[in-house]
Amino acid sequence: MTTRWTLTLDCGDVALVMAFWKEALGYVEPPPPEGWTTWEEWLRDQHVPEEEWGDGGGLDDPDGRLPEIAFLKVPEGKTAKNRVHLDLQVSGGRHLAQELRRTRIMAHVDRLVGAGGTVLREDLVEGELDHVVMADPEGNEFCVV
């Protein structure tokens, strides 16, 4: 039996980090729960104080196949290297020509730099680009593979 799970990212600025990952993954903001026409209506109905409305959020795979991503505001900043990270698999795999893989990886990297990401390093295998290690706007590491 499998267990349903959600990846949750702690962050200081939920809207900033959520917007970055929306661009990075092509995810979408979910509709409000059934029975409510807006998230504000749902939050109000659940007695969530307005000052807490921006303290969390989520994104969904538009095809409904991949896990949800949640974002939770926390008071402390990031202090160490991630022990878990995402690999954004855009190259198509090592069986493809290096030039094609590099082009796909670098196009995604360029898009994410434009969205607020930072390149930390390019990792090579046998002298050829294998993946790029990046950080989101709050420093959470991930790889573009």
Q: What is the CATH number of domain 7-73?
A: 3.30.720
Structurally, at CATH architecture level, domain 86-144 sits in: 2-Layer Sandwich (3.30)
pTM over 0.85: yes
pLDDT in tens, 6-57: 999 999 999 999 999 999 999 999 999 999 999 999 999 999 999 999 999 9
Locate CATH 3.30.720 in the chain: 7-73, 86-144
pLDDT in tens, 59-73: 999 999 999 999 999
- With contact defined as beta carbons under 8 Å apart, do 104 and 46 qualify? no
Determine the Cα–Cα distance for residues 86 and 70; give it in Å rounded to an integer.
Answer: 14
Checking if the pLDDT of 80 tops 90, the result is no
